[in-house]
Chains A and B, each alone.
Chain A
Amino acid sequence: MKSVLRTLKTLRQYPSAIAGLAIVGFLVGVSIYTMIAIPYSEAIRLWRGGAGVWDENPRNAAPVWYDLLTRDSLSRTIKVTSQGEGEKTITPLGDGMVRLQVTLPFDFSYDTFPSEITLYSQATYEDTRTKFSLTWVRPSGTETVLVTDRSMRSSDGYYISQDAQLQTGRVAPQIGLFSDWSLSPGDTDRVPEKGRYELILETVIPEGYEFETKLLVYGQIHGFAGTDNVRRDISVAMLWGAPLALMFGLLGAVGANVTTFVLAGIGTWLGGFVDALFQRLTQLNMLLPLLPILIMIGQFYSRSLWLMLGVVIVLSVFSASMLTYRAMFLQAKEAPYIEAAQAYGASNTRIIFKYLLPRIVPVLLPQFVLVIPAFVFLEASLAVLGLGDPLLPTWGKLISDARSADALYMGHYYWMIQPAVALMLTGFGFALIGYALDRIFNPRLRTM
């Protein structure tokens, strides 16, 4: 073992290994950060959504780093509430009614238009429908009346950017409202007007009740990873994808690879019946198609990530690498020092674990490191095949969602490319370490 540690230190001499270690270290760091910053239950809540979780996110927004790639500053989401920056004026009308005027001001200084505009309202009275009017004031002072006497439930949302009446020609409401006809008259080439906007709401409500409202001017970029078509923040999956991928890969590699290794050692040493049994099991297992079995389980039983992992491990214990290891052990067990150990009375267990396995660990270690990304990719492949865990935010699930939403066709490249890059980076990191280990432990390659 000490010699293995000693050899690991020589990793430092390989720049590629250092790069690999840096990548893997980064992933581990991200994983630790994520698990602390976004606890599991919180991550599930953010990913599974539910009432109001995603409402304030823009739909299909690009990651904020898109801003660095464009000369223009891309619009971000602006939220104005009547409790916050908004101003309320209440005038009693008698008859138990009051006139309420809410002014929602905000500054807009981006070079691109918002993606959507929505106004939410929440009142404490029930059953009563009231009416309200909205006036939009641009920085230049021009006004547009959005609605007059629109009826409103106690809890309502008015999707301003979807109101067909506000569409002028081919100019969508969120463009028309953010640009002045007199300043940029064409349908195309419009630029948003910068400055202080105001939305003025007027309504009459019963006295003694509360009324709050919230204006959301959705931007075109959101979070460091963007959002998907249901306004879900992709960064949750990008972050939580790291620990899940590492865990799946590591558990898979330990469960399948290390178990195979130990069983191969035991079988080879004991020989006879045990060895024959392991070999037959391996041959049998190599005939079993892994993917169809997984698809069947996914379709008819459960798509839990951990169940899939369990099945993968069980099916890969007696995999082809059993035969590779067996060949190595057959050679290693002939070493005179093993005969010597028998002569001084070492038990079978001791010989297997203290004499036989350590001899092959140098071969196992690089393979073990290289097998980790293979399991990570397997998880992604399962997700793309629609067998991803329905609960967990994994990179594979992102790719799968992006694919079914035609993200590439729709131009939402980030949605698919970010998880793909994360997967490739993981594979790359482990591969760099694995190949360096291979070169250190199996020096014959060094000259090649």
Chain B
Amino acid sequence: MTQETQNVLLSVEDLRTWYELRKWGFFHAGYVKAVDGVTFDLRHGQAITIVGESGSGKTTLAKTLLGLVPPTGGRMDLAGHRYDSERVKWLRFLFKQSERAAWRNKRERRTWIRAKVGFVQQDPYGALAPFMNVRKILAEPLTIHRVPKHDQEERIRAVMEEVRLTPSEDFINKYAHMLSGGQQQRLVIARSIVLEPELLIADEPVSMLDASVRVEILQLLRRIQESHDLGVIYITHDLSTVRYFSEYVFVMYAAKLVEKAEVSELIHNPRHPYTQALLTAISDPDPDNARVFKDVPKGEPPSLAHPPSGCRFHPRCKRFMADLCDVQMPVSFEPVAGHQVECWLYR
């Protein structure tokens, strides 16, 4: 094994998540291919951003990585554990059993806890059970993972300090509706790191927050990422927030990652026509005016149930090449080292 592969935290290969469409409740009527052939590696302590317009499959990718939605195909390895595959639907039960057996070994249990993935959702208010107070919310993951009661309180105080919900006495008995939006999201972040995960998936963590607290929350995430050497997947539809965060950006279009590059490389040398269209649209230097992704390139986002043939961007692409782009799906090219793009222009 090379140094590189040893350092990989999350390895995803050709991941597909298709939602089955049913007619009258039981007839098969095709699939919504919400994630379709996603491949990437994430190193320990690396932060990446996945940016894409609404409906491109970002949330589905996040849920698949979290194990909330079973993948239709492909491979996911977290810290060396294969944690889901095509066979899962039936094997899931057995898989859980073996997982449970592993728990009995204390050391393995600890590694498993560390290997866990934290999740920060979009809507902080919805993400917090309205009938639980702060202590309970933070204690739940600990209880589930059998952290002894007397260790819980200490851990809860520690994460509250970390997300600056201080003094913790003032907050610990409050209910979600008594907190401001920003405080709620801090609490969600606290909960996502209370088990000391190695990977944090944040699905549009600031899009529902007031503009005044967005930067603060992103900086908090950044600080946590750095201090814990945490792998972070930050999902957004707003390219202007990327710079607070990560080294790497993946551009998602219609269930695929069409371009992967370092942040500055992508901003200065976008290769994919879709990314280029995006960046011209947000060339306005004032980040507050940077328009949200959605309505940027002309034309409609494609249907994921019936995606366009060949390159999925071709009906909207300015540099469309007939008989190639509409026939064959582009493969990944690497015009510059570390900059991958799925577009026939770079063949």
Say how far B274's CB is from chain A's closest CB, in angstroms.
Answer: 29
CB of B344 within 8 Å of the partner chain: no
Interchain CA distance A4-B144 in the complex, whole Å: 24
A328, chain B: closest CB distance, angstroms: 15
Known: A342-B68, A343-B119. A2 touches B191 (CB 8 A): no
Q: Determine which of B121, B131, B144, B145 lies in contact with A339 in the assembled complex, contact meaning CB atoms within 8 Å.
A: B121
Q: Which A331-388 residues have C-beta < 8 A from chain B?
A: 335-337, 339-347, 350, 354-355, 358-359
A350 to B66, CA, bound (A): 19
CB pair B131–A3 under 8 Å, yes or no, is yes
A51 at the interface (CB under 8 A from B): no
Known: A339-B121, A343-B119. A1 touches B131 (CB 8 A): yes
Nearest CB on A from B149, distance (A): 16
Question: Are B140 and A346 in contact (CB-based, < 8 A)?
Answer: yes
Residues in B neighbouring A359, C-beta threshold 8 A:
129-131
Count of B interface residues, CB-CB < 8 Å: 26
Q: Chain A: interface secondary structure?
A: helix
Q: Which residues of chain A are near B140, meaning CB under 8 Å?
A: 341, 344, 346, 354
When C-beta atoms are compared, the residue in chain A nearest to B99 turns out to be A345
- Neighbouring B residues of A346 by C-beta, 8 Å: 140, 144
Contact A358 B119 (CB under 8 A): no
- Range, interface on chain A: 20 to 34
A358 to B175 alpha-carbon distance, docked (Å): 15
* A358 x B117 contact (CB < 8 A): no
Contact A336 B141 (CB under 8 A): no
* Cα of A339 to Cα of B69 in the assembled complex, Å: 10
Render A45-84 as a binary contact track against B, CB cut-off 8 A, 1 for contact. Answer: 0000000000000000000000000000000000000000
Residues of B within 8 A of A343 (CB): 66-68, 117-119
Q: Are B129 and A339 within 8 A (Cβ)?
A: no
B168 within 8 A of A: no
Contact of A335 among B116, B118, B119, B126 (CB under 8 A): B126
B28 to A: closest C-beta gap in Å: 17
Tell which of B126, B131, B133 has the most Cβ of chain A within 10 Å. Answer: B131
Max chain A Cβ within 10 angstroms of own Cβ: one of B63, B116, B129, B145: B129
With contact pairs A343-B117, A344-B141, A345-B144 given, residues A336 and B195 touching in the complex (Cβ less than 8 Å) = no
CB-based contact B127/A344 at 8 Å: no
Instruction: For the complex formed, measure the closest distance between the CB of B104 and the CB atoms of chain A, giving whole angstroms.
Output: 16
Q: A3-B175, A336-B121, A336-B126 are in contact. Are A345 and B116 (CB under 8 A)?
A: yes
A406 to B229, CA, bound (A): 87
Residues of A within 8 A of B67 (CB): 343
Separation in Å of the A72 CB from the closest CB of chain B?
62
Q: How far apart sit A3 and B174, CA to CA, in the bound complex (Å)?
A: 11
A337 near B144: Cβ-Cβ < 8 Å: no
Instruction: Check if A337 sits within 8 Å of B126, measured CB to CB.
Output: yes
**Would you give 6 A-B contacts (Cβ < 8 Å), ordered by A?**
A4-B131, A336-B127, A339-B127, A343-B119, A345-B141, A355-B129
B residues near A, CB below 8 A? 63, 66-68, 116-119, 121-123, 126-131, 133, 140-141, 144-145, 175, 188, 191, 195
A residues with a Cβ closer than 8 A to B are 1-4, 335-337, 339-347, 350, 354-355, 358-359
| Sample of 7 further A-B pairs with CB below 8 A, known A3-B130, A358-B131 | A2-B131, A337-B126, A337-B128, A339-B68, A339-B127, A342-B68, A345-B116
